[in-house]
Structure 1
Amino acid sequence: MTIKVGIAGRRGLNYWLGFQSDPRFRVEAFCELDEAVLQEDAAKFGIPRSYRIYEDMLQSDLDAIVVATPMQLHVSQTIAALDAGKHVLCEVTAGVAMDELWWLQESVERSGKVYMMSENACYFPENQIIAGMVRDGLFGEAYFGEGEYLHDIRHLGRLPGGKPSWRSYWQLGKRGAFYPTHSLGPLMKWFEGDAVRSVSTFGSGWHAAPEYRQEDTTLTVCRLESGKLIKLRIDCLSPRPKNAYYSLQGTKGCYEAPRGLGDTHKIWLEGMDASAEQANWRPLSDYMHYLPERYRLATEEQKSAGHWGSDFFIVHDFIQAITAGTKPEIDVYDACEWTAVALLSELSAMNGGKEMTMPKFRKGMPRAEQIIRI
């Protein structure tokens, strides 16, 4: 039996190779508003059906949908796909409002279909290596992590003709850490089994691009249920080179990602040097044996799928969840919690960094707990 896939949004074509690599799956449909893009990409990837109207695509005999449209459409399009009996792989963030997260969670539970959020930063090779080292206890007990997403997207706030784009409202028009999942996702995988208990966010004010409501930089502190801390920095307005940075501190060692200009991924573990005063970093590349085998065996074509091969392996896990009935790597409860960090951070930033309590997203969550505590 062939499982037929439809892709909504050009960004979703990064997943085409992952689906095509499995003979049980076939990308059958592509949906895109821009007619020229639709026809060009459908021909380029050999996709037989093309649609400009998303609902028309859902009425066809597809089995799974990739939602890779602007973020304010994610929940409505995901729910429509679930209600139509389709599995869903959805881009970040999961939604743009807390009510949407309740709707999403309940829709996934009601449908019985697979929902997975495609947070690609969790799949970066170096983040996978650190996850393996954490599981093997090389860092001891991890208790502090940092994630930073630094990407100047001011130019994306306007369309070529000068009109505001959707990003000028749903990203740059929001306060707080509007796009936290690239920073938070890998860290939550390193703190596996823990959960976010509260969120506090502070903004730097409006300096680089005062025309937007988003502040230049936001710092968010997530306190976990265990009491451990995660610090996030989101900056999409400051003039600077792009970088995604992570760090981890444990009782037996630490990790830091590169900052640029020849820097590299590096670790230090207890026992590497005679004393703390003599401690020196070691390259993470010395621990490449912790890279999962599927990464080490990946072909150059698979690595070219996007984000250092992340987009290929995301699809692999989505396929596994559908065919083997395994838990999605980033399920709806992860997706809602990580997205809720953005939504709570907005309230926190507008109230002087007030600590906001995270709802406990879980199966069968009662309506009485579907609230924001002020």
Structure 2
Amino acid sequence: AGATAAGAPARKGETMVGVPFEGRSTVRVGIIGLGNRGGSMIDLFLAIPGVQVVALCDPVKDKTARAAAKVTAAGQPAPATYTKGDHDFENLCKRGDIDFVYAATPWDWHFEMAKTAMLNGKHVGVECPIALQLDQLWELVDLSERTRRHCMQLENCCYGRNEMRVLRMAHAGKFGDLLHGAGAYNHDLRGLMFDPDYYEGPWRRLWHTRLRGDLYPNHGFGPVANYMDINRGDRVTHISSFGTPSLGLAQYREAHMPKGDPSWKETYIESDRTISLVQTAKGRVIRLEHDVSTPHPYSRINSLGGTKGVFEDYPERIYIEPDHTNDSWGDFSKYTDFDHWLWKEHANPPGGHGGMDYIMVFRLMQCLRVGLVPDFDVYDAATWTSPVPLSHLSIKAKGAPQAIPDFTRGMWKKARPGVDSEKPEEA
């Protein structure tokens, strides 16, 4: 067999590119992890017709009980609950009455939960990052291909109104030939990371003692990858990353945490700001940033530039020819004609991240129910997450470029649909 595209290991199954879900009248969902994220996302699953939440898992029993009460309050049968320790999710995944497993747990568990779900015949969606090591990303790709189950990176920020509008404008040629884009997770999390009640334990802060690179690339990377049709006509080939000193969390601890606090035993190595440059096969450049340790208003940057102009977010502004002249930004709100059909149908969606979470869950459940090819797949999950290990390696090597694997094994050369989807004629 030997190695294939871009040093990829030989394929063990068949590609998942273009593979539809099996249609079903009701999508039966199991949820693992019912903290801040899972405990709120359950509301969105319950708000969508044709979706039943049949099983819940969290070792913290009161969180599971609160979530179960939401299910019955929505008029659904009481869900099965799994609360017996950290590995009870394995029993949830073994159930015969689940179509889709959703995991919203600390990062350390994502790989194992995605793997367990697929090995038990379930499609799975996982919060970001989907895994933390390159070999784990390959294993998820191989497992998806072998088991014929889709494995998806959720909370990908691809379904925001601005992101979907820019995507459709890019595909309509409004930016001309695409040249560059940028995405980020610049979000001051110092207070939350030292808050003993917000996260269940210090798991998120502890990653700042382990890695130096971009711990959370998906929010910024996903939308720009879509604009450029990454894995659908172009692919990312290399990443070079640079990191600042790690000072922010230690200074915050000094100012706010009592001397006896366990956090004083921690040594932070994660760069306060990581800046990465990603090259594509077509020569385009994507800039990624990550900063959760210094004062900064929330920003995912979300910019796209081409030969006819540029869009930048936070705040949203646009400059494209021939619409804008005189070197002054134009009004992005004048481009509502380019809104995606999902935003035209759901003008005021509920839930977090400005409604994009609801749009994402609605669309994913629609694909599962109607039997459509998902808008994004395991190749996107692996690509969007690959900067986690690779940026760390690049920073350690003083910015030396690291090859990003071709997780599609050559299938990226073929154009295919993605998040810029057609409205289905529902069965």
Q: Report if TM-score (shorter chain) is over 0.5.
A: yes
**Which of the pair has the greater relative contact order for Cα pairs under 8 Å at 6+ separation?**
2
Aligned residue number for residue 8 of structure 2:
none
Equivalent in 206, 213, 216 of residue 169 of structure 1: 206
Q: Give the distance between the partners of 2:82 and 2:391, measured in 1 at CA.
A: 37
Q: CA deviation at 1:55?
A: 1.8
Q: Any stretches of 5+ residues in structure 1 without a counterpart?
A: 259-263, 366-374
Alignment of 1:254-265 (within 5 A): 254-258=310-314, 264-265=315-316
Secondary structure of the structure 2 residue equivalent to 1:288: helix
Give the whole-Å Cα distance in 2 for the aligned partners of 1:32 and 1:12.
Answer: 10
* Separation in structure 2 between the aligned mates of residue 75 and residue 364 of structure 1, nearest angstrom: 24
Following the alignment from structure 1 to structure 2, what is the Cα–Cα distance between the partners of residues 43 and 296?
32
- What TM-score comes out, normalization by structure 2 length? 0.78
Answer whether contact 1:157 1:172 (CA < 8 A) is retained: no
Relative distance call for 1:312 and 1:85 in structure 2 (3 A) is same
1:286 corresponding residue in structure 2? 334
Structure-1 residue corresponding to 2:217: 180
Deviation at 1:219, TM superposition (A): 0.6
Deviation at 1:214, TM superposition (A): 0.6
Contact 1:220–1:345 (CA under 8 A) maintained in structure 2: yes
> Percent of aligned pairs with the same residue?
32
Return 189-198 or 128-137, whichever deviates more: 189-198
Q: How many residues align?
A: 355
Most deviating of 24-33 and 283-292: 24-33
Deviation at 1:40, TM superposition (A): 1.7
Q: Distance in 1 between matches of 2:94 and 2:403?
A: 40
1:186 partner SS: helix
Counterpart position of 1:202: 242
**CA contact 2:42–2:67 (8 Å) conserved in 1:** no
Q: Which runs of 5+ in 2 are unaligned?
A: 1-24, 73-77, 251-266, 412-427
Other-structure match for 2:381: 335
**1:138-178 per-position Cα deviation (integer Å, ceiling 9, x unaligned):** 11011011112111223344462899611123356311111
Q: How does 1:33-182 map to 2 (within 5 A)?
A: 33-46=59-72, 47-52=78-83, 53-60=88-95, 61-158=97-194, 160=196, 165-170=202-207, 173-182=210-219
The alignment's TM-score, normalised by the length of structure 1, stands at: 0.88
Would the alpha carbon gap of residues 48 and 323 (structure 1) be closer, same or farther in structure 2, given more than 3 Å must change?
closer
| Mapped contact 2:155–2:357 kept (Cα < 8 A) | no
1:48 Cα offset (Å): 2.5
Distance in 1 (CA, whole Å) between partners of 2:392 and 2:384 is 14
Question: Is contact 2:46-2:71 (8 Å) kept?
Answer: no
Q: Is residue 43 of structure 2 the alignment partner of residue 6 of structure 1?
A: no
Give the superposition deviation at 1:356: 0.6
Superposed CA offset, 1:235-294 (max 9, x none):
010123322222111101111112xxxxx41111112355xxx22211110001111122
After superposition, the Cα gap between the structure-2 partners of 1:150 and 1:7, relative to the gap in structure 1 and judged at 3 Å, is same
Mapped contact 1:150–1:236 kept (Cα < 8 A): yes
Q: 1:97 to 1:128 in 2, by over 3 A?
A: same
